[in-house]
Structure 1
Amino acid sequence: MDRLSAVGDPRLRSALEFVRSQERCVTADELAAEDRVHRNVARSRLERLAAAGLLETGTSREGVGRPAKTYRAAPELEAIEFPAHHTAELVGLLAEGRGDLRDVGAAFGRRLATAAGLHTARTLDDVCAGLRRLGFQASRDGDSIVTPTCPLRPLVAAEPRLAAIDEGMWSGLVGTRARCGISGCLDPSSPCRITIDKER
C-alpha cells in the first residue's frame, strides 16, 4: 500500500491522526481502546500504515512479559497529495533568487513538461495529454486550454499576486515564448481558461 492509498482510507487516516496526536509511541491496545475495535483490527491498521511508510515501529518493555510493539509517526519529507503539484520544485526555484516571477513559472513549467514526458515540439493537445498523465484534467478548446484542476490554481487563489508564476508556467509547458491570457482562475464555479498566443 502506498502513502496516498493509506490516507485515502478513513479508518487508516483516523489511526494515523491518533498516532500523530500523541506525545509518545502508541501500541495497538491504545488504538483499540481509542477506536473501540479489537486489538487485532487496530494492529492491522497500524501495520498497514507502517508498510506504507507513514509509521515507524519499535518495542517498549514496561513491566514483565513480552515487549509491546510500538508505533510512531515516521519523519515526513514530502507532502502527500494527489495529484502531485510539485510545490517543492517551485519553492526551490523561488529560493534560487530569480527576480522575475514569470521566469520562475516558465522554469517550473519546463520541469512539469519533463515530468509529463512532453517532447520539445508540442501542440496544445500534447500539453493537455501531458497534464492528464500528471493527474490534472485538461482539454483543448481552439487556441485555449481549459482546466478545472490547474496545477497552480490553489496557489493563485490563495495569493493572486502570484499569477505571473502561473502565466510563466503555461509558457514553459507550451515550450515556446507565449502570451498566456488566463481567465476564470479565481472563480470557484468555472475552470481556468488559458489562451495561448505563441510569440513569433
Structure 2
Amino acid sequence: MTYRLLRLILSLIAYVALRPQVSGLHNVPRRGPVILASNHLSFVDSILIPLVVPRHVSFIAKAEYFTGRGIKGRISKWFFTTMGNIPVDRTDPRAGQRSLEDALEVLDGGGAFGIYPEGTRSRDGLLREGRTGVAWLALAGHAPVVPVALVGTDKVQPVGKRFPRPYRGVQIQFGAPIDPARQLTAGVKPAQARRELTEQVMTSIQRMSGQERAPR
C-alpha cells in the first residue's frame, strides 16, 4: 500500500514536470521474471523507469542511501526501501557478484529487475560497452531482457547536480524482448554466449536512443 501511494505521488509529479513520452510498454511482460536493461544518463533514471512500468521494478542502490543518519538519512532509507531497491556496499570486493546474486533472487521470485549494463552513468552522452552481468542474469534466471532507451534524463538532473528540474523532452522507449534461449541451446561457450547476448542488448539500446557508441 505504501509503495502504491508513493508511486502514485511520484507519477503525478513526473508527468506534470516532465511529460515523458513513453513507447513500447507492450514489450514488458506483465508477469514472470524479466530484466529491464537501460542506458544510464542520470540519477532519476532509476525512479522514472519504475514509475512508467506497470509492475514493481527493483534496482540496485548504493548502501549509503540506507545508512544515513538524522532525518535526511531516515527519509532516504524509507524512500529507497519502499521503492524496493536493493542495497549494495561498493567497498566490498565482491559487491558486483553479490548484486547479481541479489538480482537473481528477484528473478527467481518472478520479479522484474532493472540494470544498467554500462555499469555507471554516462558523463559525455556516449554509450559505453555493456558489461556481461546482464547476460549472466538472463542466462542464469532464464529471463528475457527488455532493452530500454532513455533520452533527455541528463537534462532533468545532470551528473553532479543535487536536484532535478523540469524538462519536457524526456523519452522512454522499451524495445522488443531478447530471449536468452538461443544462447542456451546454441552450444557456444558460456563466455561467448554472455558477450553475444550483451552485444544484442547494447545494439538495441543504441538504435533506440540514437547515442554514439564509445570506442572500445
TM-score in terms of structure 2 length: 0.23
- Who wins on radius of gyration, i.e. which is larger? 1
TM-score in terms of structure 1 length: 0.24
